[in-house]
Amino acid sequence: MSERIFPGDVVNWLRKFKWWLSGGLLFLVAATFAFAHLYVVPMRAEDEAQKEGPEAVAVEVAHVVRGDIQDTAWVTGQTSARASVDLVPMMGGQVKEVYVSMGQRVQQGEPLVRLDDSNITPQVQQAEAAVEMAQAQLDQVRAGARDEEIQQAEAAVKGARAALESAEWTYERMKRLHEKEVISGAQLREAEMQYASAQSQLESAEAQLNLAIAGPQEEAIRAAEAQIREAKAAMQAARNALEDTLLESTIDGRVAYVQVEPGDLVDVGMPTVGIVDIDPIRVEALVTDRIVGLIEQKDQVTVQVPAVDNEFIGTISEIAPTTDPERGMYPVRILIDNPEAGLRPGMTAEVRFVKERAEDVLIIPRESLSVRGDEYYVFAVEDGVARRRSVKLGMQDEDFAEVRSGLDEDDVVVYYGVEYLEDGTPVNIVEERE
């Protein structure tokens, strides 16, 4: 039995077919548009770009100029104090006062430590009084004796004669008694000594009388002057002892150490206070014969100190005329200003010395150099295009290289953007260094 188709079914089928046909057409149009956008437009843009040429590279350039250049070498050295002293007391005693502390800046002659001087001060005063007394005696000798002094001298002579007569009588009596063995030999010798002493006293008294009568003698004046000198020497010794109780700095510098406190007992020669002069601080280094022939005193050098992560300018102060016997190199000393004491003795220092110099040569920035194998080359800018040029180099420093061939003065070379260039690449100069 065949299936019957009604007119309504036909109408529904025609409607579905129309809808499918419209959707297919829309899909075809969308696919065509996408294809054109993804493939056709870029191809046209690429064709247009190829017609316009490659895009210019932004670069920074520098001129080839004439200048001075030097080949340098870094030498390791060490910082040290320019001067260092260990101050010790010249006498023992108890510490009375300490005036400084470690790290303090001091000047030559500044007091550091004082010892107890209570026993020495009276000695100074006594010695000063002795000088005054000796001076008065000298003045008296020069003025001559007075009448009353002559009378006193005559009386002294009379007394001395009487004493001599008594001593002589006693001595003679003792001799007789000794002959009779009544007294001992010791008693006789004592009597003999008293007799001799009485003779000396008489002679001295007579001499004083003669001097008083005759007036001042040259010998007496010289003796009085000698007493003055002796008294002054004793006074100076006492004053020196008093000065020795005060310990003073012998140099300008900073206090490296203080090993005493008030109340401590110190001995002669005991290290008490240390002073170091570190402004300027000294750098000691050893250089080869190749370097020593190129440096002179007062030359300035660059010094790097890793401990403080800083770079300094130093001045060569000393160059040894002979090599160090152990290392076979020449000792060199450099001074660096160090007002804040940031550099300390014992720090490692790297010193840059000049090995070779060249003046008025062609130089270019080292950033402009490229290397392939053994060949050095640069990109020179000509009419807006980078051109690869091989160059022969001379010496180099940290910033520049000497060009011996391959470039001329005032040529322009690329130093930034080199990695994006090939021979013939168009360039756009955004900065130019003279």
pLDDT digits (tens, 9 = 90+) for 290-304: 899 889 999 999 999
Residue 224: the pLDDT is: 85
As a whole number, mean pLDDT of residues 366-372 equals 95
Of 51-65, 118-132, 280-294, 395-409, the one with minimum mean pLDDT is 51-65
Of 67-71, 277-281, 387-391, the one with minimum mean pLDDT is 67-71
- Domains located in the chain, CATH noted: 57-70+358-433 (2.40.420.20), 72-81+277-357 (2.40.30.170), 85-116+246-275 (2.40.50.100), 120-243 (1.10.287)
Percent of the chain beyond pLDDT 90? 61
Percent of the chain beyond pLDDT 70? 86
Residue 179: the pLDDT is: 87
pLDDT digits (tens, 9 = 90+) for 27-67: 554 555 545 454 444 444 444 444 456 789 999 999 999 99
Give me 364's structure tokens.
């270019």
Residue 66 β-bridge partners = 362
pLDDT digits (tens, 9 = 90+) for 260-292: 999 999 999 999 999 999 999 999 999 999 899
Cis upstream peptide for 280 (omega within 30°):
yes
pLDDT digits (tens, 9 = 90+) for 290-342: 899 889 999 999 999 999 999 999 999 999 999 999 999 999 999 999 998 89
Which of the two residues, 37 and 423, has the higher pLDDT score?
423
Task: Give the chain's mean pLDDT.
Answer: 86
- In the sheet where 246-248 sits, what is the strand order? 246-248, 111-115, 93-98, 265-266
As a whole number, mean pLDDT of residues 86-100 equals 94
- Residue 87 CA to residue 248 CA, distance in Å, equals 8
Q: Which long-range contacts (CB under 8 A, 24 or more apart) does 203-208 make?
A: 204/160, 205/153, 205/156, 205/157, 205/159, 205/160, 206/157, 206/160, 208/153, 208/156
